[in-house]
């Protein structure tokens, strides 16, 4: 390894020595109070299944659990115009549900859940950048990567990852941040928010053609989108990572990684038609850890997006979090 690379690894090891050494598991009870109705796939049971699997796998004991603070108006305003936030607040019902679109509805608990989901990413960024944790996983809902700057859609209200990235750029003066999105659906909101922003690079894979029916034509030179055909498996996914993602990440040399961790590309999840398995999620996580160790002082914040088959979701999150905590 060249001298510059050795210096980066030394700095990373020093930072980890001074941190608690435990991966942060950031969540909030209010994330369970968002409910879009009986039978909706984006349900509170998702977080329960994740926690149960982490406990059963004896992974939870090796994490530091942190309760998220709610996002502030200033932190939201870096990504979402105040008029949009006002609109979301005005739509929040006191009883029943209010439909933002055919797939996305607000219940009385939604607003607090969304504020704490976004706030969890802020909390995670602070923990990692202040060396109180080497990396973090945010077990939150509602998800966020479909939310555009002024539009809710696809189960999403606030773009959690984008809010965290904007906070890292502003509060910690980072110059290069990379977002990795392996959800089965394209993270159109994240792409719309950071299109042409030279400080942010996004690499992603997603099924195409498929909801939200975009991404095949990147919106900016900082977007490295890899559409996968229905029926693709881990072979095609790993090829995309090795031939497109990793070279782009090495060239960009990010100072921090954010992962939009959607697990609905699992072969048992009928939300999509991509055949990934737990081993694929573990494999890509370990490759991203290597990138983070080389360029980012190990700094990774991973944020739950999709994943709707409860068993495969929980198992996939478990191997992802275990990889993050194995150092």
Q: In this structure, how many other beta carbons lie within 10 angstroms of the beta carbon of residue 98?
A: 16
Query: Which token pair is 25?
Result: 């598991």
Mean pLDDT of the chain: 95
What is the separation of C-alpha 19 from the centre of its chain, rounded to a whole number of angstroms?
22
Considering the chain, what percentage of its residues have pLDDT values greater than 70? 94
- Please tell me whether the peptide bond between 142 and the residue prior to it is cis, using omega within 30 degrees of 0: yes
Which pLDDT does position 20 carry in this prediction? Answer: 61
Q: Find the length of the chain.
A: 327
How far apart CA 318 and CA 243 sit, in angstroms, is 27
d(CA 157, CA 104): 9
Rounded distance, CA 148 to CA 179, Å? 15
Residue-wise pLDDT for 176-192, tens only, equals: 999 999 999 999 999 99
Confidence of residue 6 (pLDDT cuts 50, 70, 90): very low
- Per-residue pLDDT at 21: 85
- 224 as an active site residue: the answer is no
Q: What is the pLDDT of residue 18?
A: 42
Contacts of 169 (CB under 8 A, 6+ apart): 177, 199, 200
- For residue 13, name the pLDDT band (cuts at 50, 70, 90): very low
Rounded mean pLDDT, 307-325: 98
Per the structure block, which two tokens stand in for 55?
């406990």
From 80, 145, 146, 208, active-site residue:
146
In the predicted model, what is the mean pLDDT of residues 290-311? 98
Interval 278-289: pLDDT, tens: 999 999 999 999
pLDDT tens digits, one per residue of 83-124: 999 999 999 999 999 999 999 999 999 999 999 999 999 999
Rounded to the nearest angstrom, the gap between the alpha carbon of residue 57 and the centroid of all alpha carbons in its chain is 22
Q: Domains of the chain, with CATH numbers?
A: 3-325 (3.40.800.20)
Q: What is the DSSP letter of 146?
A: T
The reported pTM is 0.94
């Amino acid at each position: 390894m060249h001298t510059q690379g050795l210096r980066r690894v030394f700095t990373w090891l020093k930072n980890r020595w001074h941190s608690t050494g435990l991966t942060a598991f950031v969540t909030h009870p209010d994330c369970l109070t968002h409910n879009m109705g009986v039978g909706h796939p984006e349900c509170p049971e998702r977080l329960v299944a994740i926690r149960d699997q982490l406990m059963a796998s004896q992974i939870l004991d090796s994490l530091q659990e942190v309760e998220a603070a709610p996002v502030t108006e200033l932190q939201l305003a870096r990504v979402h115009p105040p008029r949009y936030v006002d609109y979301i607040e005005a739509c929040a019902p006191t009883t029943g549900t209010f439909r933002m679109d055919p797939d996305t509805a607000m219940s009385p608990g939604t607003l607090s859940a969304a504020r704490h989901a976004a706030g969890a990413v802020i909390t995670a960024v602070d923990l990692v950048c202040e060396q109180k944790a080497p990396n973090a996983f945010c077990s939150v809902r509602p998800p966020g990567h479909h939310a555009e700057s002024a539009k809710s859609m696809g189960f999403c209200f606030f773009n959690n990852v984008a809010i965290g990235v904007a906070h890292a750029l502003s509060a910690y003066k980072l110059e290069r941040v990379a977002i990795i999105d392996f959800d089965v659906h394209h993270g159109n909101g994240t792409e719309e928010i950071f299109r042409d922003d030279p400080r942010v690079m996004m690499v992603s894979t997603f099924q195409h053609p498929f909801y939200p029916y975009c991404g095949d034509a990147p919106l900016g030179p900082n977007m490295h989108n890899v559409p996968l055909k229905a029926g693709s498996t881990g072979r095609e996914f790993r090829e995309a990572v090795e031939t497109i993602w990793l070279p782009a990440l090495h060239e960009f040399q990010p100072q921090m990684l954010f992962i939009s961790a959607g697990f609905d590309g699992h072969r048992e999840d009928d939300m999509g038609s991509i055949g990934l398995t737990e081993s694929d999620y573990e494999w890509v996580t370990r490759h991203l850890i290597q990138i983070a160790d080389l360029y980012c002082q190990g700094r990774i914040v991973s944020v739950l997006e999709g994943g709707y088959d409860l068993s495969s979701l929980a198992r996939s999150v478990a191997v992802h979090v275990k990889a993050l905590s194995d150092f």
